[in-house]
Amino acid sequence: MTDQSNEFLAQVLDGKTGIQLPYCLANGSHVQILDEGVIEFQPRIASDRQLDLVVSCGIHGNETAPVELVNQIVNEVLAGEHRLRARILFIFGNVEAMRRGERYVDDDMNRLFCRQYQNADDSVEARRAAMLEMHVMRFFARHGDDGSVPRLHYDLHTAIRGSVFEKFAIYPYPHEQAFKAAEISRLGAAGVSTVLLQSRPSPTFSYFTSRYCRADAFTLELGKARPFGQNQAVNLDALGQVLRSLLCGEISTGEFVPEAHQLFRVSREIIKHSDKFRLHLEDKVENFTPMEVGFLAAEDGEVLYRIDEEGARIVFPNPKVKNGLRAGIVVVPTRL
């Protein structure tokens, strides 16, 4: 393991990363810093490329466990510890919020993709979301879209609150293609056996790369958000192993075993329309907490959100969002 365990992240937080000319590592891998906290690696031999991979973290600045993992892997690659057989774009998302130790500065960045930043004020997050869209579009477009090399995007997060299932993935609505059992199997190998299958578009980073870059993209929730240096309880060893394997071009997946996964689909969203909104759940309620049929989950003036789905659970309950945004998701069990 490299002893440069905090070098790249420290440079990012100190404002010492920006656009730089490409260069080569001692092992021949190509490196270029494209923007603050955005770094790209390519294999020494172009024909070695087996995968185009984007790994993003820190879209919310206080979700630090995945930031620490990604930093560790970036430092390993910079130290020449891996023979790359993939093109990789690492993204540290909301750098200013990371510096402040806050979720965001002005706006929730993960509601600003798919050009939703055009509807926001000129905020830190709006400008950054636009820039990140440009970077991933260029990254995936550089070698065309002939389908010869898989495209994968993992957007790494931790949640505001705890979860009945500690780690879970959100699989964006796939449009013209079906949800892929092989990718769900890979998530299981990464320690993420609970997957929420979305049924509609959303303004998230993973949906953007799924829809507009034709990548297999996922939002991964990897435990509870904690400050830097306080993530000892968050075990990301399995995910780290999968990411390192992908860097080296090991892209095969194990057989999909339905019984090994908990799959859910979105039944409906709870939207906060006004300041009258009330969520009838305690602050300590965890993600995927079951709700009984007939339970009044929320109300917003005359709008009532009463549970009528069997097996319903709540995900991302948050009454503090801005008006017009999602304050929770009602999910139900499903299968492929």
> What are the binding residues for Zn(2+)?
60, 63, 157
- Indicate the Cα dihedral angle 8, 13, 18, 20, nearest 10°: -20
Catalytic residue among 221, 282, 302, 309: 221
Q: How far apart are CA 125 and CA 93, in angstroms?
A: 9
Numbers of helices and strands, H then E, in the chain: 7, 16
Which one, of 261, 289, 273, lies nearest residue 323 by Cα? 273
Q: Which residues pair with 170 in a beta bridge?
A: 196, 219
Percent of residues in the chain assigned helix, strand, coil, to nearest 5: 25, 25, 50
User: What are residue 277's DSSP bridge partners?
Assistant: 300
Residues 6+ apart with CB under 8 A from 254: 185, 186, 188, 189
Amino acid at site 91:
I
Residues annotated in a binding site: 60, 63, 157
> Residue 273 — φ and ψ, nearest 5°?
-90, -30
Q: What are phi and psi of 288, to 5 degrees?
A: 70, 20
Nearest residue to 279 (alpha-carbon basis) of 323, 330, 328: 328
- Active-site residue flag, 282: no
Are 26 and 43 contacting, i.e. CB atoms less than 8 angstroms apart?
Answer: no
Spell out where the chain has E strands: 23-24, 30-35, 38-42, 52-57, 87-92, 151-159, 167-171, 194-197, 216-224, 262-271, 277-279, 289-290, 296-300, 303-306, 313-315, 326-333
Provide the token pair at 163.
Answer: 């979860």
Give the count of alpha carbons within 13 A of 245, CB side only.
13
Task: List the beta bridge partners of residue 52.
Answer: 87, 151
Catalytic residue ranges: 221
